[in-house]
Chains A and B, each alone.
Chain A
Amino acid sequence: MKKNIYRPFEAVVEDIISETPTIKTFVFRPKEPFSFRTGQFIELTVPGIGEAPFTPSSDPNITERFDVTIMKVGRVTELLHGITKGTTLGVRGPYGKGYPLDKFYGKDVLIVGGGVGLAPLRSLLFSLFAGIDKYNKVVLRYGSRTSGDIVYKEAIPEWAKKKKVNLVTTVDVGDPSWKGNVGLVTTILKDLPVDLNNAVAIVCGPPIMMKFVTMKLLDLGFKPEQIYLSMEKSMSCGLGKCGHCRIGKFYACKDGPVFTYEELKDIHDIWD
């Protein structure tokens, strides 16, 4: 049977974890064999309503289930937040190239996340942890708006305890219950325990955060080809056809969604 590129396959929602008031993690059991590489994305279908792109946030080595962490921001995500366990949704994908893990081997891997941008990065972290001997160290810097907006609250302290991991978090706006750093994520990028000559930086978060983090990293001495960015674009097909996700000569869906800053730096208005 010829494959229909537009057909979603079924996946059942097995569990729903509330991360913050506006962010939930959905655990899916796919009804067809499904696996992805970290950083690749899927198109999630709410039957009868439509699709939206998401990057799975779970460990790619686990194939019988996958997680998607979703912030309520639009029509489809709002509906997703309303669904209950046992609901069947549709999935197409995985699409895109994902993170080139082999390029990170032997290096200091700096990961900078903002808000719900930690979702794709969690999948990356699981992949790094699974093969931690291959990397020199993992340095994670994570910022969220307030302490209530932190995702994976229980997991973060566990990650901090892992070998070769250095982890610092911050919130933009403090509150009495928060004992940690206060300030934008760029403020915790000082004195990074990384060797610039042997490091890569991976950034994921809202466009404005990615812009300022990229500028900061360049200031610190990172080269454009050492910085990996996850580009958020309007998407529809995921197949390099519909034209929605163009960035310069690239399509984010097919050539990305992860790009080095080197690939993007000469393209106009990439942060818009």
Chain B
Amino acid sequence: METYFLKSTDIFKFYDRIASEYELYVPVRVKTPVKVKCEYQSHLPTDDYLLKKYSEANKEEVCFNEYRCVEPTARAFFTHFKEEVCDYFAHPPKEAKDKPIALCGVKNCDIFSTRIQDFVFLGGIDEDPVYKARRENALIISGDCPNFKEACFCRAFEINPHCNEGFDFNFSPLTDGFLVDVGSERAGKLAGLIKDMLVPAGFGQLSGRQAKRETLIRQMESHLAHHKIPRKETLQEIVLAGYNSKIWNEEMFTCVECGGCIFICDTCHCFFLSDEPRDGNTKRYRAWDGCLLKNFSRVAGGANPLKMRHMRLRNRYMKKFDFFVDNLGVQACCGCGRCIEVCPGKIDIRHILRKLYEEKHLPAV
């Protein structure tokens, strides 16, 4: 893989070049006045990042995000919350007419999640044509995480806070610019067009990056040590062994059934098809759905296998840590912590996994 150095002052030239061919999304910072309570560490950042269309963003607000954005990046840009997927009997399949997208600010947890989304929308018995068109044409511009939030726990599942694959470009921030990895043929062509901005990375720069990456992993691991999250190899075993545990019930007391966790999740993917009249014709929509919602598994006639809230919570974990481990070989959770931050009931996946583990085994290290 080729790696170059790009000066900070050239970043907008780079963006402009990408934006001439793609609908480019870039991270913008949202200041949060709230400080996350954290007993053992007070310096973890709390600001958020959103992805905004480059064409609509002010240059001053565009930034390099220190960690993943709020949006479930691997999911929200390839399937929309609710979108038309078919014009009924009135033929031609919907083609994505839009300009291809380029996503900046993608982190390694998001890259991990694209594996789950690809498995669902490109696998199954057939490909989803809308997803496929968007996904194949999208340019992924990822970046190292120079920092992390309290809720981040990617490393607990051995997912690094920097990317080694799955991107077109990857950005690693240095003091006066970025190291830019060129990860695909498509990116290589683009890099060829902006040769004047890119200089081959020096050995010092590369080893500097390596040192930064290692330091961050160490910091994160000392943070995660407080949470005692079970190792990924044990996840399937503990959710199966804990099927009849009281934990599901105890942890669900504060759920208000808002659906936040399932909609903010980068690895959740469920949807339903709904038919609605539009413009004198009927259209079919694909809309996000999820198992924390009451009617998710209700059948015609009214029977509902997930009628109680604790069954729905358990279902989510069975899907993520049993079904996906069996079918794809990896858990459907990237450790992004989005569900932890969104939940008004303060329901915390790290805590639930730890309790399941401790109930079945000796206390975690």
Q: A residues within 8 Å of B by Cβ? A: 1-10, 45, 47-52, 73-77, 90, 95, 207, 232-234, 236-237, 239-244, 246, 248-249, 254, 268-269, 272
Contact = CB atoms under 8 A, between A and B. Distances in A.
Consensus secondary structure, chain B interface: loop
A242 B270 CA distance: 5
Interface string B304-337: 0100000000010011001100110000000000
B299 A234 contact: yes
B169 interface: no
Contacts of B269: 241, 243
Interface stretch (B89-97, B103-111, B171-179, B195-203): B89-97
Contact residues on B (Cβ < 8 Å of other chain), bracket: 35 or more
B120 A241 contact: yes
Nearest to A245: B297
Given A10-B89, A242-B289, A244-B272, A5 B127 contact: yes
B301 interface: yes
Given A47-B282, A49-B275, A248-B323, A8 B88 contact: yes
B126 A52 contact: no
A9 to B, nearest CB: 7
Nearest to B121: A241
Given A243-B270, A246-B319, A246-B323, A5 B128 contact: yes
A73 B128 CA distance: 31
24 contacts: A6-B284, A6-B286, A7-B89, A7-B93, A9-B89, A47-B88, A48-B276, A50-B275, A74-B299, A75-B300, A90-B89, A207-B303, A234-B298, A236-B289, A240-B125, A242-B270, A243-B271, A244-B296, A244-B297, A246-B315, A248-B318, A248-B323, A249-B323, A254-B125
Please indicate which of the listed interface residues A4, A47, A249 has the most CB atoms of chain B within 10 Å of its own CB.
A4
Please indicate which of the listed interface residues B91, B120, B124, B300 has the most CB atoms of chain A within 10 Å of its own CB.
B300
A240 B319 contact: no
Contact of A74 (B126, B271, B277, B300): B300
B273 interface: yes
A5 B127 CA distance: 8
Interface string B222-234: 0000000000000
B323 to A, nearest CB: 5
B126 A239 contact: yes
